[in-house]
Structure 1
């Protein structure tokens, strides 16, 4: 994310809480989901 998405996104990360959410602990499940929430601002 930091090396690929941010440079071309028009956004940059800012100081603040980062949240990582996992739907379950079973990462082998084909329907496994997770989310990463990072504070950003427009460049």
Structure 2
């Protein structure tokens, strides 16, 4: 019972960390692309 609880906690933490890393990577990529797209948007408007 205790092992199962511990396992679920680790699983949740792992999923959370994975999601956070994905989000941070996505934000990094977005920052890289937004600098280019913002210039394009300024030219369009």
TM-score by length of structure 1 reads 0.16
Whose helix proportion is higher, 1 or 2?
A: 2
Greater relative CO (CA pairs within 8 A, separation 6+): 1
TM-score by length of structure 2 reads 0.16
Whose strand proportion is higher, 1 or 2?
A: 1
